[in-house]
Structure 1
Amino acid sequence: MSIQTPVQSKPTAVAVAQRFLSRHVSWIPVFAAIVILVAMFLGAQAYFGNFLTPRVISSLLLDNAYLLILAVGMTFVILTGGIDLSVGAVMAFTGMLGASLLRDGLPVGIVIPVMLLLGAGMGLAVGILIQYFDVQPFIASLAAMFAARGLAFMVSLSSIRVEEPAILWLQSTRIQAEPGSWFITPTGIIALLVVLVGALLLAYTRFGRTIYAIGGNEQSARLMGLPVVRTKLLAYVISGVCAGLAGVVFTAYTGASYPLNGIGTELDTIAAVVIGGTLLTGGSGYVLGSMIGVLVYGTIKTGISFLGADQSWTRITIGALLLLFVVVQRVIVSRSSRR
Structure 2
Amino acid sequence: MAAMTTTTARAGGRADRASSRVQTFLSRHGGMMPTFAAALILVLLFIGAEAFLRGDFIKPLTISNLLINNAYLLVLAVGMTFVILTGGIDLSVGSVMAFTGMLGAKLLADGLPVAIAIPAMLLGGAAIGLFIGILVQYFGVQPFIASLAGLFLGRGLAFIVSLNSIKVEDPAVLWLQSTRWKLGDWVVTPTGIIALATVAIAAFVLHLTRFGRTIYAIGGSEQSARLMGLKVGRAKVGAYVISGTCAGLAGLLLTAYANSSYPRNGIGTELDAIAAVVIGGTLLTGGRGYVLGSMIGVFVYGTIKTIINFMGAEQAWMQIIVGALLLLFIVVQRAIVARAEGRR
TM-score (norm 1): 0.95
Q: Does 1:239 align with 2:243?
A: yes
Q: 2:273 aligns with which of 257, 269, 274?
A: 269
Q: What does 1:317-336 align with in structure 2 at a 5 Å threshold?
A: 317-336=321-340
**Structure 1 position 23, deviation (Å):** 1.2
**Structure 1 position 312, deviation (Å):** 1.4
Gaps of 5+ in 2: 1-9
CA distance in 2, matches of 1:41, 1:306: 13
Q: Does 1:255 align with 2:240?
A: no
Q: 1:144 to 1:42 in 2, by over 3 A?
A: same
Q: What does 1:307-318 align with in structure 2 at a 5 Å threshold?
A: 307-318=311-322
Task: Give the fraction of aligned pairs with identical amino acids, expressed as a percent.
Answer: 69
Residue number in structure 1 paired with 2:138:
132
CA distance in 1, matches of 2:300, 2:20: 28
CA distance in 2, matches of 1:164, 1:25: 48
Q: What does 1:183-198 align with in structure 2 at a 5 Å threshold?
A: 183-198=187-202
Q: 1:328 to 1:102 in 2, by over 3 A?
A: same
**Structure 1 position 313, deviation (Å):** 0.9
Q: 1:222 aligns with which of 223, 226, 248?
A: 226
Q: 2:148 aligns with which of 142, 150, 159?
A: 142
Q: Which amino acid aligns with 1:21?
A: L
TM-score (norm 2): 0.94
Q: Which amino acid aligns with 1:70?
A: L
CA distance in 1, matches of 2:15, 2:143: 50
SS in 1 for 2:266: coil
Q: Does 1:306 align with 2:310?
A: yes
Residue number in structure 1 paired with 2:89:
83
Q: 2:35 aligns with which of 20, 30, 35?
A: 30
Runs ≥4 residues deviating over 2 A? 6-22
Q: Which amino acid aligns with 2:137?
A: Q
Q: Which amino acid aligns with 1:194?
A: T
Gaps of 5+ in 1: 1-5
SS in 2 for 1:176: strand
Q: 1:90 to 1:14 in 2, by over 3 A?
A: farther
Q: How many residues align?
A: 332
Residue number in structure 1 paired with 2:118:
112
CA distance in 1, matches of 2:299, 2:18: 27
Q: Does 1:158 align with 2:164?
A: yes
SS in 1 for 2:306: helix
**Structure 1 position 224, deviation (Å):** 1.0
Q: Which amino acid aligns with 1:239?
A: S
Residue number in structure 1 paired with 2:217:
213
SS in 2 for 1:24: helix
SS in 2 for 1:122: helix
**What RMSD over aligned residues (CA atoms) do the two structures have, in Å?**
1.7
